[in-house]
Amino acid sequence: MSAQDFLVELGTEELPPKALATLGDAFLAGIEKGLQAAGLNYAAKSVYAAPRRLAVLIRQLDVQQPDRSINIDGPPRQAAFDAEGNPTQAALGFAKKCGVELAEIDQSGAKLRFSQHIPGKATLGLLPTIVEDSLNDLPIPKRMRWGASREEFVRPTQWLVMLLGDQVVDCTILAQQAGRESRGHRFHHPENVVITTPANYVEDLRKAYVLADFSERRELIAKRTAELAMQQEGSAIVPPALLDEVTALVEWPVPLVCSFEERFLDVPQEALITTMQDNQKYFCLLDSEGKLLPRFISVANVESRDPKQIVEGNEKVVRPRLTDAEFFFKQDKKQPLETFNERLKNVVFQAQLGTVYDKAERVSKLAAFIAPLIGGDAQRAGRAGLLSKCDLATEMVGEFPEMQGVAGYYYALNDGEPQDVAMALNEQYMPRGAGAELPQTLTGAAVAIADKLDTLVGIFGIGMLPTGSKDPYALRRAALGVLRILIEKQLDLDLTGAAEFAVKQFGAKVKAAGLAEQVLEFIFDRLRARYEDEGIDVATYLSVRALKPGSALDFDQRVQAVQAFRKLPEAEALAAVNKRVSNLLSKAEGAIAEQVEPKYFDNANEFSLYSAIQQADQAVQPMAAARQYSESLARLAALRDPVDAFFEAVMVNAEDAKVRANRYALLSRLRGLFLGVADISLLG
């Protein structure tokens, strides 16, 4: 079957830059879906997305659908005709469903059957519908109309190119008649561009100063930006999202180095970077020490004969933005950071839980409680907690919300606060997302844990539990943040005591009964998904969870030990034994004695197991005290042989009550050894 290249390009007014790549990919996906549904094969596909165009190129597309045959079975003959041979409603309904008369239905078999040969259609006639359906299905949250047209699209359309080989696909889509004329760069080549063939699309546009390939533009911008940064003896900050957005704004990218006055470097560089990236779409430059250089890179959309004019224009535009940041910074520094707490006394954190200042006071006391437990300083943690929300009331954070925490850091240093107290004001928000940076200081860790724990206790305490789709206070993220800080920074904090302390601070504002336990359940539930992501079996997690350790670090150490234990050859058998012992003990009548009395032994295997348990107990006690859980379980694995021998030779439920009770006591000692680490009966 013959094949030809197919090209469709929809020209528009400037498309939303943040959505451009997504729209291009969706356009291609929709066309692929239509081609596959039509049974049309092709060799390759490409998508092109630029500010004023979306295009798809399909290589070696079948020019004709293959013929198809369809066979549809209907009702059995006995159900299709009555005793006199007259057609029933079942037969008539089947014929109607197939769109034919009953006489055209094959009645020779056990069932009625409709067979039809459908000749394939020409691809040329199918393409308009395929393209139109794909455009209609694009992920556009809000479509617009333009002029007198009733058509709707993300932006007004301007032209349409549709070619199958050398032939124009005759159709009108979104108020545009298809042709072979595209348009070049607005300024460098405002004339129409004739697309000679689909395969020449990219090169035809390149001659008209349009780089249609999104990836090519992206790579060119990244490469040239890096080269210019190196020439300035610096490195460029190029966030992927910003690079994508800039790529979507230009058809003919020309990166240029611009500068700003060095006096602006007295302003926190995070504020300068934020405003240059978010508002102006510039790439900022850093020196070898990570300090901001008074230069930035702007990507122009023209190749100017006088680039200096473009550079000066960008410098003129950015100056008021930087001046604003400078003004806010100077204004805020006129008063001590702590005084901003007065404003926060009138800002509600949550209607039932009080103001933001109330929260800062609670965080201060809780951080002071937590800090010495993790090796930090209570006084500094308390001070950091009290200052933790102050910058929310500053002019800087009011203008640049992304500066919360960062602004507080600079203002605290300006006030002469200790370095770790200042750092804690930013570190309280860490980690800001999955895999994000953790607090460096113990003061920051204490405040971060306190802030998250206070939110969890407070919101749970007023019954606003997160649901599957709603978590307005980001409680899941808060819980995961607490766990990450404690586990990854190896901080051994008993969360039980911290949660109970947090509950007491709220007084009558929360329902205190069972609240600490509820919050801890929620926090430790988050570990399940964490371990599953790490490839740790859920049974390993559950075996530790059964013991309810209060320390996240201790919990993790036990989980890692059980995971290592499961790789030992004795693990499976010992897990099964623990399960058997657990079942036996659960059925025991009355309290199980703590002491084992050897005088009631009547089998050598009882003596052997008792001796092995005593030796193991002496060996693992110091290991357990040192939390050497892996070593402890490895040592307990040696119990397999005496345990197996015991169960082969000894009847636990002996007739003599004292013998039976003694054997239960022996098994209880055995189980207790393993329960020092985890309930491995859950591994079986």
Q: Are 338 and 386 in contact (CB under 8 A)?
A: yes
- The mean pLDDT of 638-663, rounded to a whole number, is 85
The answer to whether the Cα torsion of 453, 445, 436, 535 is positive or negative is: negative
pLDDT the model gives residue 423: 97
Q: Which amino acid is at 169?
A: V
Residues 248 and 109 in one domain: no
Residue range(s) defining the domain that contains residue 429: 379-394+405-535
Helix locations, 169-239, DSSP H: 201-206, 214-231
Distance, CA of 263 to CA of 651 (rounded, Å): 88
Percent of the chain having pLDDT more than 90?
71
Q: Are 114 and 100 in contact (CB under 8 A)?
A: yes
- The mean pLDDT of 143-159, rounded to a whole number, is 91
- The mean pLDDT of 149-154, rounded to a whole number, is 89
Q: Are 215 and 62 in contact (CB under 8 A)?
A: no
> Domain boundary at 118, 144, 159, which?
118
Residues 197 and 59 in one domain: yes
Cis before 431? omega within 30: yes
* DSSP letters for 324-346: HHHHHHHHHTTS-GGGGHHHHTT
Q: Which residue's structure tokens are 């003694």? A: 662
pLDDT the model gives residue 1: 56
CA distances from 307 to 259, 311, 339, 646 (A): 14, 6, 48, 90
CATH number at residue 41: 3.30.70.260
Which residues have a Cβ under 8 Å from the Cβ of 151 and sit 6 or more positions away? 145, 157, 174, 175
**Token representation of residue 631:** 């070593």
Residues 175 and 292 in one domain: no
**E strand or H helix that includes residue 552:** helix 552-565
Judge whether 166 lies within some domain: yes
More confident residue, 510 or 83: 510
Length of the chain: 684
Query: Using one digit for the tens of pLDDT, what is the confidence trace for 420-442?
Result: 999 999 999 999 988 889 999 99
**E strand or H helix that includes residue 73:** strand 68-76
Q: Are 90 and 75 in contact (CB under 8 A)?
A: yes
Judge whether 558 lies within some domain: no
pLDDT confidence bin for 80, thresholds 50/70/90: confident
Q: Where are the beta strands (DSSP E) in 109-190?
A: 111-118, 157-164, 167-168, 172-173, 176-177, 181-183
pLDDT the model gives residue 595: 84
pLDDT the model gives residue 66: 85
Residues 149 and 43 in one domain: yes
Q: Are 664 and 652 in contact (CB under 8 A)?
A: yes
Distance, CA of 251 to CA of 245 (rounded, Å): 12
Residue 296 has pLDDT above 80, yes or no: yes
CATH number at residue 569: 1.10.730
Q: Are 388 and 424 in contact (CB under 8 A)?
A: yes
Residues 491 and 523 in one domain: yes
pLDDT the model gives residue 446: 98
**Token representation of residue 129:** 């519908």
Of 130, 139, 132, 183, the C-alpha closest to 161 is 183
Judge whether 643 lies within some domain: yes
- Largest Cα separation within the chain, whole Å, is 107
Residues 57 and 173 in one domain: yes
pLDDT confidence bin for 653, thresholds 50/70/90: confident
**Average pLDDT over the chain, rounded to whole?**
92
Residues 574 and 679 in one domain: yes
Of 341, 345, 365, the C-alpha closest to 504 is 365
The answer to whether the Cα torsion of 186, 191, 192, 195 is positive or negative is: negative
Distance, CA of 539 to CA of 684 (rounded, Å): 9
pLDDT the model gives residue 466: 87
> Domain boundary at 162, 183, 206, which?
206
Give the range among 64-73, 153-162, 183-192, 371-380 with minimum mean pLDDT. 64-73
More confident residue, 636 or 485: 485
Distance, CA of 482 to CA of 448 (rounded, Å): 8
pLDDT confidence bin for 684, thresholds 50/70/90: low
- What single-letter DSSP state applies at residue 77? H
Residues 59 and 87 in one domain: no
Judge whether 128 lies within some domain: yes
Q: What is the pTM of this model?
A: 0.81
Dihedral class, residue 463 (left if φ above 0, else alpha if ψ from -120 to 50, else beta): left
**E strand or H helix that includes residue 55:** strand 53-62
Q: Are 606 and 666 in contact (CB under 8 A)?
A: yes
Which residues have a Cβ under 8 Å from the Cβ of 113 and sit 6 or more positions away? 71, 72, 73, 74, 105, 106
First and final C-alpha spacing in the chain? 60
Spell 408-435 as b/e; 16+ CB within 10 A means b: bbbbbbeeebbebbbbbbbbbbbbeeee
Considering 34-38, 120-124, 365-369, 632-636, the range whose residues carry the highest mean pLDDT is 365-369
- What single-letter DSSP state applies at residue 317? H
**E strand or H helix that includes residue 20:** helix 20-37
Distance, CA of 371 to CA of 537 (rounded, Å): 33
Distance, CA of 666 to CA of 674 (rounded, Å): 13
pLDDT the model gives residue 157: 96
Residues 653 and 591 in one domain: yes
Residues 608 and 644 in one domain: yes
- The mean pLDDT of 48-57, rounded to a whole number, is 98
Residue 589 has pLDDT above 80, yes or no: no
The domain total for the chain is 5
Residue 593 has pLDDT above 80, yes or no: no
Of 410, 390, 429, the C-alpha closest to 272 is 410
Residues 281 and 246 in one domain: yes
Residue 85 has pLDDT above 90, yes or no: no
Residues 515 and 654 in one domain: no
Residue 497 has pLDDT above 80, yes or no: yes
Q: Are 212 and 204 in contact (CB under 8 A)?
A: no
Q: Which residue's structure tokens are 């800090």? A: 371
